[in-house]
Amino acid sequence: MVKAFIFDFDGLIVDTETPWYYAFRDIYEEHGVELGLELWSKNVGTSFEEFHPFLYLEQALQKKIDHDHIKLLSEQKYEVYLGQASILPGVYELLQSAREKGIQLAVASSSTRDWVHGYLQKLGIFDYFTVVHTSEDVKRVKPEPELYLLALQSLGIEASEAIVFEDSPNGLKAANAAGIRCIIVPNEVTRGLEFAMHELRLSSLAEIDMEAL
């Protein structure tokens, strides 16, 4: 019996990932460097340990760059591409249905607490979640399973009683390592990536069939 849904945040509830890719792709192009999706995808759903866009650009240019300037420029471009942040299709309806059925809701995100809490509050959905865990709550973010294991502990349930919703291979790896069934809902950035073992793949959460879970 499903007792809880655990959601990733970036790229699943709000597509914050595609605007970040576009922002850095533009910056790289302005420096004469190509930033492919395959390379960028290494940091999707995780930290900058695998691929750090600032350091990689320095390596490509073989010179130091002004990190503060690049950070400010990326944030400005990100805001333009993001536009008016809106909840992705099917998210609100799934939250409503879960609440009606008594299913607990949680967020497990590799992003920072301020980032996740801020968006959830802005979107008016923060109060739906019993548990919100972010990068500050664990030593290692996804693809390590710590965030999901912590969410299970906070919810007081077993892995078999939860379903994870993820948009990235790193998130899927974390869910699999925690022993939780995972439904994949890729976004524009992650759609072409390889996803290994997963329960189900959807184009959007609007396709979810609550009775089949």
* Catalytic residue numbers, as ranges: 8, 10
Supply the DSSP string of 153-207, one letter for each residue.
HHHT--GGGEEEEESSHHHHHHHHHTT-EEEE---TTTTTS---S-SEE-SSGGG
Looking at the DSSP bridge assignments, the partners of residue 167 are none
Do residues 50 and 42 make contact, with C-beta atoms less than 8 angstroms apart? Answer: yes
Of the CA atoms within 13 Å of residue 106, those in its CB half-sphere come to 24
How many Å apart are CA 156 and CA 98, to the nearest integer? 17
Count Cβ atoms within 10 A of the Cβ of residue 127 and give its class: 0-12 exposed, 13-18 middle, 19 or more buried. Answer: exposed
- DSSP structure class, residue 11: T
Cα Rg of the chain, angstroms: 17
Strand, helix or coil for residue 4: strand
